[in-house]
């Protein structure tokens, strides 16, 4: 049995967790900086770094305490070293290296996106073992967050192949920009999700763009511009817009594309199951729609619990466990890599 302490500081959550054997969450502590950044309408990197410095030690100590463990119980420390904001990443990496050195504990560097994917393996005892749907590779995973939108074939616990990618905005970024345009504020995803429940998803026809000749790639800047044009057009004519209809129609357009491309990729690559990962995987309509359309094609479906969709330390510990078992340890030269790619070593 291996207990991994996962540390995550790539953006605006300071998080640490202890996970056993890459699956069982023993503790999970998340300090979110969202209220601080809300004042500025988005994440301010310098402020994020400062907040991480102030909170990281407390968050790690609490993760150990909640797990009822000491450093002797920890087999490895896993830390996000990219992709993300360089300042925030450096706080996590430096802290992890300092502890690894001082306590003589193995260190593992984790790719944040691979961490999101590994959230699919987490369980936390809130379901009984018989009803737990245990996820195992291979499967096709849609990773959609504030910075990334990829369709990834998960060949094994540490083997990934990118099948599709966005050519411009990430899905979460489109949610955040549209939310700002209709006056919902930051972070936009959950707010659009909530308002869309009161609107008609078929009220306005926004484009569902395909790009180039890859049937699995995405483009969200067209949908976003169409929403902005619609809002400007209405403002110029002095017409009142139904914000709930705009939110619902935009969300439906994005989700149709995300789901159709992922299900098609799973079928074309002969996968048995699809999974969701990343902050946008918390979207209620995306979860429902992916499940429906995947199951209609005879595919299995899995998504992490809501708390493990957005940034957290447990997913980093889960990914770190598999790197640790594969013997891929980091040394004290580990550095932040802000543009780290999936599968890059």
* Minimum gap (Å) between residue 33 Cβ and ligand KG4: 12
Q: Is 14 in the site for Zn ion (CB under 5 A)?
A: no
* Minimum gap (Å) between residue 279 Cβ and ligand KG4: 2
* Minimum gap (Å) between residue 18 Cβ and ligand KG4: 20
Bridge partners, 24 (sequence order): 20, 123
Per-residue x/- track, 3-22, ligand KG4 (CB under 6 A): --------x-----------
Number of residues lying near ligand KG4 (CB under 6 A): 19
Cβ closest to ligand KG4, residue 7 vs residue 74: 7
Binding part of the chain for Zn ion, among 28-36, 142-150, 184-192, 244-252 by CB under 5 A, reads 142-150
Binding part of the chain for ligand KG4, among 89-97, 118-126, 151-159, 188-196 by CB under 6 A, reads 188-196
Binding part of the chain for Zn ion, among 43-51, 197-205, 308-316, 334-342 by CB under 5 A, reads 308-316
Cβ closest to ligand KG4, residue 208 vs residue 325: 208
Among Zn ion, ligand KG4, none, the one that 176 touches (CB under a kind-dependent 5 to 8 A) is ligand KG4
**Euclidean distance between CA atoms 188 and 173, whole angstroms:** 9
Cβ closest to ligand KG4, residue 45 vs residue 215: 45
DSSP collapsed to 3 states, the chain: CCEEEEEECCCCEEEEEEEECCCEEEEEEEEECHHHHHCCCCCCHHHHHHHHHHHHHHHHHHHHHHCCCCHHHCCEEEEEEECCCHHHHHHHHHHHHHHHHHHCCCEEEEEHHHHHHHHHHCECCCCCHHHCCCCCCCEEEEEECCCCEEEEEEEECCEEEEEEEECCCCHHHHHHHHHHHCCCCCCHHHHHHHHHCCCCCCCCCCCCCCECCECCCECCHHHHHHHHHHHHHHHHCCCCCCHHHHHHHHHHHHHHHHHHHHHHHHHHCCCCEEEEECHHHHCHHHHHHHHHHHHHCCCEEECCCHHHCCCCHHHHHHHHHHHHHCCCCECCCCCCCCCCCCCCC
Residue of 153, 192, 182, 184 whose CA lies nearest to 279 = 192
Q: Is 121 in the site for ligand KG4 (CB under 6 A)?
A: no
Cβ closest to ligand KG4, residue 99 vs residue 248: 248
Count, residues in the chain = 345
Cβ closest to Zn ion, residue 28 vs residue 145: 145
Binding part of the chain for Zn ion, among 72-80, 138-146, 176-184, 216-224 by CB under 5 A, reads 138-146
* Minimum gap (Å) between residue 117 Cβ and Zn ion: 11
**125-164: contacts with ligand KG4 (CB under 6 A):** 145-147
> For residue 331, how far is the Cα from the chain centroid?
26
Among 255, 311, 312, 320, binds Zn ion (CB under 5 A): 311
Among 145, 149, 252, 262, binds Zn ion (CB under 5 A): 145
Binding part of the chain for ligand KG4, among 32-40, 126-134, 189-197, 314-322 by CB under 6 A, reads 189-197
**Euclidean distance between CA atoms 221 and 2, whole angstroms:** 43
Cβ closest to Zn ion, residue 208 vs residue 305: 305
**164-183: contacts with ligand KG4 (CB under 6 A):** 172, 175-176
Binding site for Zn ion (CB under 5 A): 145, 311
């Amino acid at each position: 049995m291996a207990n991994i302490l996962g540390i995550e500081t790539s953006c605006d959550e300071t998080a640490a967790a202890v996970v056993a054997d890459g699956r069982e969450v023993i503790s999970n502590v998340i300090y979110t900086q969202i209220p601080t950044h809300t004042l500025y309408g988005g994440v301010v990197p310098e402020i994020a770094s400062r907040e991480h410095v102030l909170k990281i030690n407390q968050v790690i100590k609490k993760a150990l305490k909640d797990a009822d463990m000491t450093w002797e119980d920890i087999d490895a420390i896993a830390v996000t070293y990219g992709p993300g904001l360089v300042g925030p990443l450096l706080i996590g990496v430096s802290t992890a290296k300092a502890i690894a050195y001082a306590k003589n504990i193995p260190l593992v560097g984790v790719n944040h996106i691979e961490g999101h994917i590994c959230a699919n393996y987490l369980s936390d005892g809130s379901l009984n073992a018989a009803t737990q749907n245990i996820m195992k590779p291979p499967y096709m995973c849609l990773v959609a967050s504030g910075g990334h939108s990829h369709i990834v074939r998960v060949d094994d616990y540490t083997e990934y192949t990118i099948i599709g990618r966005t050519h411009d905005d990430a899905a979460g970024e489109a949610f955040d920009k549209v939310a700002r345009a209709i006056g919902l504020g930051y972070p936009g995803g959950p707010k659009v999700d909530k308002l869309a429940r009161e609107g008609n998803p078929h009220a306005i026809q926004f484009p569902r763009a395909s790009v180039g000749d890859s049937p699995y790639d995405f483009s969200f800047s067209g949908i976003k511009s169409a929403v902005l044009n619609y809002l400007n057009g209405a403002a110029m004519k002095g017409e009142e817009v139904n914000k709930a209809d705009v939110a619902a129609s935009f969300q439906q357009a994005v989700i149709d594309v995300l789901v159709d491309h992922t299900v098609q990729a799973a079928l074309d690559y002969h996968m048995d199951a699809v999974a969701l990962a990343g902050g946008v995987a918390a979207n209620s309509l995306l979860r429902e729609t992916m499940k429906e359309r995947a199951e209609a094609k005879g595919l299995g479906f899995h998504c992490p619990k809501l708390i493990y969709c957005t940034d957290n330390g447990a997913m980093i510990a889960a990914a770190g466990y598999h790197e640790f078992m594969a013997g891929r340890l980091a040394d004290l030269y580990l550095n932040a890599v802000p543009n780290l790619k999936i599968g890059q070593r």
